[in-house]
Structure 1
Amino acid sequence: MKKVKKIILVFISLIVLIALALFIYLQTTKSKCEGEENLANISKPTTVYFDEYGVPHIYAATQKDAMTTLGYVHAQDRLWQMELMRRIAPGRLSEIFGNTALKTDKFFAGIGIDENSKQAAANLDKNSQTYILANAYLDGINQYIEQGTTPVEIQLLGLKQEKFTLKDVYNIFGFMSFSFAMAQKTDPLLTDIRDRFGMDYLMDFGINGEFGTKQLKSYKGDYKEYAEIAKSVAGLLETSPVPAFIGSNSWVIGESKTKNGKVILANDPHIMYSQPGTWYEAHIVCPDYEIYGYYIAGTPFPLLGHNHNYAYGLTMFENDDVDFFQEEDNPNDEHQYKTAEGYKNYTYKQKIIKVKDSSDVKLNVKTSQHGPIITGLLDGLKAEKAVAMSWIYTQQKNQILDAVYELSHAKNLESFHKNIELIKAPGLNIMYGDAKGNIAWITSGKLYKVDKSVNTNFILNGANGVDDKKEFLPFSKNPAAINPPWNYVYTSNNQPEAIDGYLYPGYYLPKDRAMRIDGLLSPKNNWTKEDVSKMIVDNTSATAETIVANMTKPLNVAKFSENEKRALAVLKVWKATHNLEDIAPSIYNKWLYFYLKETFEDEFGADNFKLLLNTHIIKQVIENQSKNATSLWWDNINTKDKKETQSEILTQSFKEAIASLEKQLGPDINQWQWEKVHQVEFQHPIGKLKLFSKFFNVGTFGISGTNEVINNQLFIYSDDTQIQVKGGPSTRRIIDFSDIENSWSVLPTGQSGNPMSKHYDDQTDLFVKGKFRKMKLNKKEIEATSTKLTFQPK
């Protein structure tokens, strides 16, 4: 017995020692925020003040010194995130995660971002400030890799670190640009609908039939092949460890509409949630320069920023800059494809993908004049069915690094506007306000027109010489509003007005958020920072009341249960708010899911219906279809001897929704609060493994908001007990030029990517509750509330 006790005691002691050693090790991984550190290639000592939320305020003698220091402190907080970000575009995630990432690597390695990045880095002017400062930033990262503490994630995976290069920077921007595009998830689905059922079935989707009545006749398309393209690409983005950009709001209020007579800018870019979050905040001050910026991991210049003189933000334009072409192979030579000028040869390139704990994989990339053949890059698709992807980003000169540098160094509105032209892709709504009273909304992107017979919502004909003809437009034709007489500008991914009678094709979001923003801004002329802080977390839908009225009108309530009647009564008096304590949103969103399921799943099939729910177009459908009793979709094609009506489908789906809620939340409707249903967890890539979830993930929290309200909390309609909020505001910023040194912001979790840091999740409570913290510009206040780290020249 004594021997057993000794063994148990030794075992317990070993566990305690291991736990203690692990704890001590994890403590050593924390970022250094005070004291002194040596740093090569800076001219003079550089001081960094870390404020109470871990934001570095860098005071340097030169911009080069500041950028070297920024690279170092950015790496000590976000090196693991940088490592992920630089690997996805060139197809190098399998080196970390093994075969589980191989599908993602095959696709991204094949679509040409890495080659484009290599060329862009080679073309960058070696004497330019862009080149000099970007390399100083990279030098800071690489010095941290040499002398700093390796992040725990990199230690766990046994990853050998490499130096960061300019190509890495361009690759990060390249993936970000790809994640903006919606064509890859939408065009194949719309093509399948057209080919199987005809154009009449697309009336509810907002597809304009004026491109030609001949399109009413179905093409001979391969339904499964096209659907698999959308499914495969959507799956890659869904499982990616790097979050995709999905939407955004922004508005700028002119001086005449604010109480203090100064411009106010608000911005909340919507990105898929992750941990750590997308943005890293840093404040740089030099004798000739100042910026408080928001940086993507591994990139040297901020995409969002402000100083005492001006502020800028962004949302997604959602214009169409990706087209797909069905190539027609030469029946006598598989290495050739048909063009209007005759047959041409495909080009071929072999790439090697390294896979952790496995053999290298050879990837053969086939390319036509339109772009890479993506059907050979996606699993489950037949490579001989050659669909090419044509993408503006890889086809135009890549000047995105110069553009982001120039926007963060603008002297005035004129120079800011001019340099937006450098961004050929992605399409962005770039918002601007300044201390002189200027306000602006300006779009980026190389826009083009196609022949009137061509509808770019579909997979196009690669052989006819018509579908691929583009008329590129001058930058002056990009939608914009500069100092408009109505004294405010806004954008929420909505369709811009026509330019010269032409509506630019795109994958725009519904009008809901735009209507609400415009409706709140227009009548009020005494806006304050406090007012804007309430507006940016507004939870009221601009269209839900109308949709409820449309959907409840055809209901057959004769056979409703008492609970169904009570639920209907709750909906009828609902004012479309989505607060934590509200009951109606739980009923409404469950009903939307079952209505969509009963309406579309019979045509699409279960898998493709789930894919449809992941697109923007499904959000566009709901309001218009809710009032269209003659929609072809109401009929269930599986019931051959019966034609279902709108009333039958809506009644059936309502009863299914209430039955589901009773099963999941109990029979008492008063217990169906939105906070029990609508929840968010900020997931780390490694935290997706249950063993590590408690250590790396942040949450779960009930959260207010919903799809397509200003407080846009993105989720996919489902029958799950708890709705998983997948994305939303990646930051909320309010820049008030009447009190510029005390503007407000908040991040979803925190500034640091280190799980041991107090700044890993110290903003989560603020974010979930819709509150804010300061973005400090005043040096005396910064010094008084910060720790101090001094970098000495080596």
Structure 2
Amino acid sequence: MKKIKKVSLAILILFVLLAAIAVAFLQYTKPKYEGNLTLAGLSKPTTVYIDDYGVPHIYAENQIDAMTTLGYVHAQDRLWQMELMRRIAPGKLAEIFGNVALKNDQFFLGTGIDENSQKAIDQLDKNAPTYLLANAYLKGINQYIEEGITPIELTLLDIKQEKFVLKDVYNILGYMSFSFAMAQKTDPLLTDIRDKYGMDYLQDFGLEGSLGTTQLKSYKGKFKEYATIAKSVTQLLETSPVPAFIGSNSWVIGGAKTKSGKVILANDPHIMFSQPGTWYEAHIVCPDYEIYGYYIAGVPYPLLGHNRDYAYGLTMFENDDVDFFQEKDNPNNPKQYITTDGFKNYTYQQKIIKVKDSSDVKLNIKTSVHGPIVNGLLDGIEDKPSIAMSWIYTQQKNKILEAVYSLCHAKNLEDFQKNIALIHAPGLNIMYGDAKGNIAWITSGKLYKVPSSVNTNFILNGNNGIDDKKEWLPFSKNPVAINPPWHYVYSANNQPEAIDGYLYPGYYLSKDRANRIDALLSSKNNWTRSDVEKMMVDNKSTSAETIVANMVKHLVVSEFSDNKKEAVRLLKSWKATHNVTDVAPTIYNKWLYFYLKNTFEDELGPENFKLLIGTHVIKQIIEKQSQNSTSPWWDNTTTKSKKETQAEILNKSFNDAIASLELQLGIDIKAWQWGKVHQIEFQHPIGKLALFKKFFNIGSFPVAGSNEVINNQMFFYSDDPKYNIKAGPSTRRIIDFSDIENSISVLPTGQSGNPMSQHYSDQTDLFVNGKFRKMKLNRLEIIQTSTKLVFNPK
């Protein structure tokens, strides 16, 4: 017995020692937020104040010193994220994750982003500030790699770090640009519906622009199952370890409508939630330059920013910058395809993908004049006709780094607008406000017209000489509103009004958020920052009450159980809010799911129905279809002996919804609160493994908001017991030029990507409860609330 006790004691002591060593090691990996360091490349000492939310305020004698320092402090908080970001476009995820990431690598390596990045670098002016400052930033990252603490993720995955180069920056921007596009999720599926059922089945989809009833006003004064393409690309983006951009809100209120007479800018870009989050905040102050910016990991210039003179934000334009073309192979030579000029040879390129703990994989990339052939890059379409992907980003001259540099170095509104023309893709709504009282909505993107016979919502014909005709438009034709007489501008990813009679094709979102923003802004002329705070977390839907009224009138309530009658009563009295204690949105969203399932799944099948649920177009359909009793979709094609009506489908769907809720939440309808089913978890790529979940992930939390309300907390309609929120505000920012030093913001989790940092999740409570914290510009206040980290020249 004594021997057993001794052995048990020894094991316990060993366990305690190992735990102590593990804790000590993790403490050792924490970022350094105070003290003194040396940094190569500095001309003079640079001081960094790390404030109470982990934001570095960098005071330097010149911009080179500031950018070198930014690279170092950014890396110590986000090096793991930087490593992930730079690996996607050049197909290097499988090197660290193994075969599970091979499909991602095959596709993105085939898109041509990597080659396009090198071409852009070759064309850069090597003496320009854009180039010099970007390389200073990279020098700071690389010194951290050499001398700093290796992030725990890199240790766990045994990743050998390589120096960052400018090509990594372009590859990161290239991946982010691709993730904005919706064509790859939508066009193949719509083509299948057209080819199998005809255009009558697409009337509810409003492809001719009929659903774009809320348009942003400009002011200047055969059946081939193409949906496999959509399925493959959707799976790649949804399983990517790096989040994709989804939508966004932004509005800028002119002085004529604010209590102070000064401009207020609000912006919350919507991005897939992840941990760490998308943005890293940093404040740079030099004698000739100041910016408080929001940075993507590995990118030297902020995509969102402000200073004492001006502020800018962005949303997705959602214009169509990706097209798919079906090529027609030469029947006598599969290495050729048919064009209006005769046969042309496909070009071929072989690349090698390194796979962790496995053999290298050879990837053969086939390309036509329209772009890479995706058949060899995506699963399930190897035996289909050759489909080429044409993407403006890789086909136009890439000057995106110069453009992003210019956004944060603009001298005035005219300078700011001029440099937006450098962004050919992605399409963005760039929102602007300044201390002089100017407000603006300016769109980026290389826009074009196609012949009236061509509908870019479908797979196009690659050999008729018509479908690929593009009339490229000058930047002066891009939608814009500068200092409009209604004194505000806004964007919620909606279709701009026609310019010269032409509606730009795209994948625009429903009118809900736009109508709510417009209605609120137009109703007041004394806006304050506090008012805008409340507006940013507003969760009332502008269409839900109409949809409920359209659907409820078809219900046979007299035949319902007491629970169902109570559910109907709650829906009828509902004011379309989505607070965590509301019950009606739980009923409404479950009913919507079963209505969509019982309406579309019989024609599309389970997999393609799931694809449709993940597109923007589904959000456009619901209200219009709820008013259309003659829609061909109401009929259940699996019941050949009868033709179902809208009333039958809606009654069945309501019964299905209540039965599901009773099973999942119990029969007490008062317990069906929105917060019980609408929840958010911020998931780290390694946190997907159960062993590491509690250490890396944050949450979950009940949260207010819903699809297509201003507080846009996005989920896919489903019958799951919980709607796990996929995307939402990646930051909320309010810039008030009447009190610029007290402008406010919040991140979903925190500044740092290091789980041992106190700033890993210290903003989460603020975010989920709709609260804010200050973005500090006042030096004295910064010093008083910060730790001090001094970098001396090496």
- TM tier, smaller: over 0.9
| Contact residue 199 and residue 209 of structure 1 kept, 8 A | no
1:558 aligned counterpart, secondary structure: helix
The residue that corresponds to 2:218 in the other structure is none
How far, CA to CA, are the matches of 1:13 and 1:373 in structure 2? 61
The residue that corresponds to 2:749 in the other structure is 749
- 1:87 aligned partner, one-letter code: R
The residue that corresponds to 2:45 in the other structure is 45
How far, CA to CA, are the matches of 2:156 and 2:110 in structure 1? 29
Identity within the alignment, %:
76
| Contact residue 183 and residue 507 of structure 2 kept, 8 A | yes
1:251 aligned counterpart, secondary structure: strand
The residue that corresponds to 2:236 in the other structure is 236
How far, CA to CA, are the matches of 1:34 and 1:127 in structure 2? 34
How far, CA to CA, are the matches of 1:337 and 1:348 in structure 2? 13
Aligned 1:553-572 pairs, distance under 5 A: 553-572=553-572
How far, CA to CA, are the matches of 2:9 and 2:321 in structure 1? 66
2:699 aligned counterpart, secondary structure: strand
How far, CA to CA, are the matches of 1:586 and 1:401 in structure 2? 44
CA distances 1:473-518 after superposition (whole Å, capped 9, x unpaired): 0000000000000000000001110000000000000000000000
How far, CA to CA, are the matches of 2:589 and 2:14 in structure 1? 52
The residue that corresponds to 2:312 in the other structure is 312
- 1:276 aligned partner, one-letter code: P
**How far 1:341 sits from its partner (Å)?**
1.1
How far, CA to CA, are the matches of 1:18 and 1:723 in structure 2? 39
| Contact residue 268 and residue 730 of structure 2 kept, 8 A | yes
How far, CA to CA, are the matches of 2:14 and 2:186 in structure 1? 56
CA distances 1:89-117 after superposition (whole Å, capped 9, x unpaired): 11100001000000000000001000001
| Contact residue 275 and residue 697 of structure 1 kept, 8 A | yes
2:546 aligned counterpart, secondary structure: helix
How far, CA to CA, are the matches of 2:337 and 2:556 in structure 1? 56
| Contact residue 53 and residue 759 of structure 2 kept, 8 A | yes
Aligned 1:395-410 pairs, distance under 5 A: 395-410=395-410
The residue that corresponds to 2:323 in the other structure is 323
| Contact residue 77 and residue 753 of structure 1 kept, 8 A | yes
How far, CA to CA, are the matches of 2:14 and 2:125 in structure 1? 58
Does 2:558 match 1:552?
Answer: no
1:490 aligned counterpart, secondary structure: strand
Aligned 1:351-750 pairs, distance under 5 A: 351-382=351-382, 385-750=385-750
How far, CA to CA, are the matches of 1:383 and 1:653 in structure 2? 38
1:789 aligned counterpart, secondary structure: strand
| Contact residue 35 and residue 789 of structure 1 kept, 8 A | yes
How far, CA to CA, are the matches of 2:665 and 2:426 in structure 1? 43
User: Gapped runs of 5+ residues in structure 2?
Assistant: 211-221
How far, CA to CA, are the matches of 2:585 and 2:156 in structure 1? 42
Q: Judging changes above 3 Å, is the alpha-carbon distance between structure 1 residues 664 and 209 closer, same or farther for their aligned structure 2 residues? A: closer
Does 2:45 match 1:26?
Answer: no
The residue that corresponds to 2:216 in the other structure is none
| Contact residue 750 and residue 759 of structure 2 kept, 8 A | yes
The residue that corresponds to 2:169 in the other structure is 169
How far, CA to CA, are the matches of 2:5 and 2:606 in structure 1? 58
Deviating 4+ runs (over 3 angstroms): none
The residue that corresponds to 1:213 in the other structure is none
The residue that corresponds to 1:214 in the other structure is none
**How far 1:321 sits from its partner (Å)?**
0.3
- 2:254 aligned partner, one-letter code: G
Does 2:274 match 1:271?
Answer: no
How far, CA to CA, are the matches of 1:100 and 1:209 in structure 2? 40
1:248 aligned counterpart, secondary structure: strand
- 1:598 aligned partner, one-letter code: N
Aligned residues: 783
CA distances 1:449-479 after superposition (whole Å, capped 9, x unpaired): 1111000000000010100010000000000
| Contact residue 435 and residue 737 of structure 1 kept, 8 A | yes
The residue that corresponds to 2:227 in the other structure is 227
Does 2:332 match 1:332?
Answer: yes
How far, CA to CA, are the matches of 1:293 and 1:669 in structure 2? 46
How far, CA to CA, are the matches of 2:506 and 2:209 in structure 1? 16
| Contact residue 376 and residue 383 of structure 1 kept, 8 A | no
| Contact residue 747 and residue 763 of structure 1 kept, 8 A | yes
- 2:291 aligned partner, one-letter code: I
The residue that corresponds to 2:262 in the other structure is 262
| Contact residue 305 and residue 312 of structure 1 kept, 8 A | yes
- 2:11 aligned partner, one-letter code: F
| Contact residue 224 and residue 384 of structure 2 kept, 8 A | no
1:644 aligned counterpart, secondary structure: coil
Does 2:128 match 1:128?
Answer: yes
Aligned 1:291-306 pairs, distance under 5 A: 291-306=291-306
2:743 aligned counterpart, secondary structure: strand
CA distances 1:287-320 after superposition (whole Å, capped 9, x unpaired): 0000000000000000000000000000000000
Q: Is the deviation greater in 145-154 or in 8-17?
A: 8-17
How far, CA to CA, are the matches of 1:383 and 1:284 in structure 2? 54
| Contact residue 497 and residue 503 of structure 1 kept, 8 A | yes
**How far 1:208 sits from its partner (Å)?**
2.0
2:364 aligned counterpart, secondary structure: strand
How far, CA to CA, are the matches of 1:571 and 1:377 in structure 2? 47
**How far 1:633 sits from its partner (Å)?**
0.2
The residue that corresponds to 2:4 in the other structure is 4
Q: Judging changes above 3 Å, is the alpha-carbon distance between structure 1 residues 669 and 79 closer, same or farther for their aligned structure 2 residues? A: same
TM-score (norm 2): 0.98
How far, CA to CA, are the matches of 2:61 and 2:738 in structure 1? 29
**How far 1:385 sits from its partner (Å)?**
2.2
**How far 1:384 sits from its partner (Å)?**
5.6
1:684 aligned counterpart, secondary structure: coil
TM-score (norm 1): 0.98
How far, CA to CA, are the matches of 1:12 and 1:767 in structure 2? 41
| Contact residue 376 and residue 384 of structure 1 kept, 8 A | no
CA distances 1:686-711 after superposition (whole Å, capped 9, x unpaired): 00111100000000000000000000
| Contact residue 683 and residue 698 of structure 1 kept, 8 A | yes
The residue that corresponds to 1:245 in the other structure is 245
1:753 aligned counterpart, secondary structure: coil
Aligned 1:33-112 pairs, distance under 5 A: 33-112=33-112
| Contact residue 433 and residue 440 of structure 2 kept, 8 A | yes
How far, CA to CA, are the matches of 1:297 and 1:681 in structure 2? 21
- 2:53 aligned partner, one-letter code: Y
- 1:117 aligned partner, one-letter code: S
Q: Is the deviation greater in 14-23 or in 190-199?
A: 14-23
**How far 1:209 sits from its partner (Å)?**
9.4
| Contact residue 545 and residue 575 of structure 2 kept, 8 A | yes
- 1:81 aligned partner, one-letter code: Q
- 1:693 aligned partner, one-letter code: K
The residue that corresponds to 1:215 in the other structure is none
- 1:669 aligned partner, one-letter code: I
The residue that corresponds to 1:343 in the other structure is 343
**How far 1:118 sits from its partner (Å)?**
0.9
2:380 aligned counterpart, secondary structure: coil
How far, CA to CA, are the matches of 1:733 and 1:197 in structure 2? 46
**How far 1:558 sits from its partner (Å)?**
3.0
Q: Is the deviation greater in 558-567 or in 4-13?
A: 4-13
1:679 aligned counterpart, secondary structure: strand
**How far 1:221 sits from its partner (Å)?**
2.6
The residue that corresponds to 2:772 in the other structure is 772
1:741 aligned counterpart, secondary structure: helix
How far, CA to CA, are the matches of 1:323 and 1:723 in structure 2? 32
CA distances 1:702-737 after superposition (whole Å, capped 9, x unpaired): 000000000000100000111100000000000000
1:246 aligned counterpart, secondary structure: strand
- 2:301 aligned partner, one-letter code: F
How far, CA to CA, are the matches of 2:474 and 2:208 in structure 1? 25
| Contact residue 209 and residue 503 of structure 2 kept, 8 A | no
**How far 1:206 sits from its partner (Å)?**
0.6
**How far 1:380 sits from its partner (Å)?**
2.2
